[in-house]
Structure 1
Amino acid sequence: MSFEFDIAFLLPFAIALIATGAVAGTLAGLLGVGGGIVIVPILVLLFPYFGIPEDIRMHLAVGTSLATIVPTGLSSARSHWRRGGVDPELLKLLGPWVVLGVLIGVVIGARAGGDALRSVFAAVAALVAAQMAFGREGMQIADKLPSWPGRALMGGFIGGFSVVMGIGGGTLGVTSMTLFGVPIRRAVGTAAALGPIIALPGVVGFIIAGLGEPDLPPYSLGYANLVAFAMIVPSTILFAPVGAKLAHTISPKLLRKAFALFLFVTACRMAWSVLT
């Protein structure tokens, strides 16, 4: 399939991507979640309207999402570090295992079919939706992190599944750490620091895996679209403060349940696309 390198393709594509970044940034500010959990499903919904073949949609969405997380994640991590929100000891304990999980996830994710990636996203999104909708605030299963075999599994889980889903460290990292007694502010700050650690090797892997793919849209570097990157990142950064302001006027409990519903519907849609 070939794409026309003209305004008829690029203008509507760019407008749709700016809107994607705006939605992702607003929800990130409202709920404190990473933008990737929003960006990936929206891109998967948008891509068919621009003629992007089904067999590369999920890979392109994941790779592009990881690319956007690199600059936004670095900015977020720096902000949390300056405010003392990042726990260096916690980062040292989990970081190497997260990196190992990322490397394994990149190898598997880049070679896996679109249905496999959609299945992983659907399963994890459904679990996150259930935790958001029904989880008790402050719930934990232990007062401290597990010993090294458990930490290895925990870090590997965060890194591996995050990179395959195209998300940063926030969605899985915060949930995992708070379950083991890490205070929420330290968990959020440390998870923010994990974002670039996950995204940078992740996007490099998806770029390499997509080199030479003939059906990519214009201005793609492997499975990372540069137009999407250029449009999503500024609008995500611009709208995150808008979401943060709205968070003070809307019930957080209601917001969490609404986002949980969004994730659940997304998970069902992706699961249905695998089955049909």
Structure 2
Amino acid sequence: MSFSPDLLAAAEHIATKSQIGRYVIISLYVVQVCEWVASLDDELNLIHCAKWTAMKFAYLCCRYYPLLTWLMYIWALAWDHDIELCLRIVKPLYILMVPYQMFAQAVMVTRAWAFTGRQSVVLLILLSAYAVMVGMDVWVFATDVESVMLQPVLRNTGLNSGCVRDSNSGRPPIPFKLGLLFMSAFFLDFLGTIIMISHCIRLRSFQGQLGKIFLKQGLVAFLFMSALHITAATCAFTINRFGSTFIAAVPLILANVVACRLTLSLRKNVAIGTETEQLAELSRVVRNAMADASDSPSDAKVYDIIG
């Protein structure tokens, strides 16, 4: 069977991009494994040996779900498969992508909420933005999957490739949907950053140890996440027909890596707790000390004032 020069040129162009995408998929798994091995000692001491909390559960999901499931994407996207196989596995593959963004952002939301002293108003604001992002996540990866076909140019030339969706299939197209998803994630990161900065300014905690550590680690992590998602959104809105899967992979994986690194870093360096927790602990210590020293009525009056 002969093909027109234009069709063969298009197929060659897509095959080249597919090869670059394979390198991206494999490289992202190498990054995950290297980060996990480098952080394993801290993880064992600070996470696995700690009592069960919502933060511990979110961290473990954020760390191990990508490590375990990404092997399937390496097999599906980095190896050549026939069209029939891809059409059978494309739906579960993309549905399994839903938790990636959810786990990473759950860690960031929990960190922001804990930093502000676990205020109910802050939690409500963050959860509202998080719910919007989760809805976008489900819309992008778990809907309109069955109608999405593989790249028709490759099919027409009889070539095989990884199980990559056609970016222009579906309504609206996949890149547009990805752009909206990453914009919602950017808004959540930006909101968390503003909330924590406002909390530091209100309590003047930039002058204390916790505020300095936040500036060095927490704020940098949130700004990196914001830059990552706004860049991914820009790329998604301007992408051409092919490659949305590989562009989506980068922020999905790196967001989880950054979230895990932030959690370990804060747990390792911030054993003093938030400002609210420090004040509560200081008040408890003062009460105990004054109660032990209250041997006279004057001492009792002083205790009443401090308490």
TM-score where L is the length of structure 2:
0.27
TM-score where L is the length of structure 1:
0.29
Q: Which has the higher contact order (CA 8 A, sep 6+)?
A: 1
